[in-house]
């Protein structure tokens, strides 16, 4: 069983994924980190130089080619599940969990390193439909309770 974490930027996917992977002794994979290593530049610069479509194609390529033999937790980019049929690919690779954070928390995140945050309110409404296709939705108000719920799901 693998867990694939989706949700808007700032919803806690990476934080929750790293903590939970340590507690379960599972591999943790972050698609943004893979892309930054592969392209050798931060996400913000990729968006600026090549645009969002190029970035989404990179995400998709990584998603399609993830082939990990041990249980893993995958933290995805906020828009990944809404690009083409990525949500279907995710569901073939694991259980898709939507970390639904309150809007008040989402708008407090680091605006400097989030290229699409200026359009956040529009994006949240646009992506809501994709996110709700997840296998499970966790109201992510506190990291500890989110991790507890995910552990129960795994058992």
Residue 31 labeled ligand binder: no
Residue 32 labeled ligand binder: yes
Tokens of 76: 């995805």
What is the percentage of the chain residues whose pLDDT exceeds 70? 88
Residue 12 labeled ligand binder: yes
Average pLDDT over residues 104-132: 70
Q: 28 by DSSP, 3-state: which?
A: strand
β-strand partners of 97: 5, 136
Domains with residue ranges and CATH for the chain: 3-154 (3.40.50.300)
Residue 51 labeled ligand binder: no
Whether the pLDDT of residue 142 is over 90: the answer is no
Which ranges in the chain belong to alpha helices (H)?
13-24, 31-39, 43-50, 52-65, 86-93, 103-106, 120-131, 143-154
Residue 144 labeled ligand binder: no
Residue 67 labeled ligand binder: no
Residue pLDDT, tens place only, 17-34: 999 999 999 999 999 999
Q: 30 by DSSP, 3-state: which?
A: strand
Residue 77 labeled ligand binder: no
């Amino acid at each position: 069983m693998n867990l694939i974490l989706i949700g808007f930027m700032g919803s806690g996917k990476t934080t929750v994924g790293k903590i939970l992977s340590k507690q379960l002794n599972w591999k943790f994979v972050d698609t943004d980190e893979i892309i930054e290593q592969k392209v050798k530049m931060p996400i913000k610069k990729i968006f600026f130089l090549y645009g969002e479509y190029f970035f989404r194609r990179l995400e998709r390529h990584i998603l399609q080619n993830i082939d990990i033999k041990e249980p893993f937790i995958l933290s995805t980019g906020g828009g990944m599940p809404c690009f083409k049929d990525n949500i279907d690919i995710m569901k073939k690779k694991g259980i898709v969990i939507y970390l639904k954070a309150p809007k008040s928390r989402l708008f407090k995140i680091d605006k400097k390193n989030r290229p699409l945050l200026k359009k956040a309110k529009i994006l949240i409404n646009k992506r809501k439909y994709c996110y709700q296709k997840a296998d499970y939705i966790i109201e992510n108000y506190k990291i500890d309770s989110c991790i507890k719920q995910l552990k129960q799901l795994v058992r």
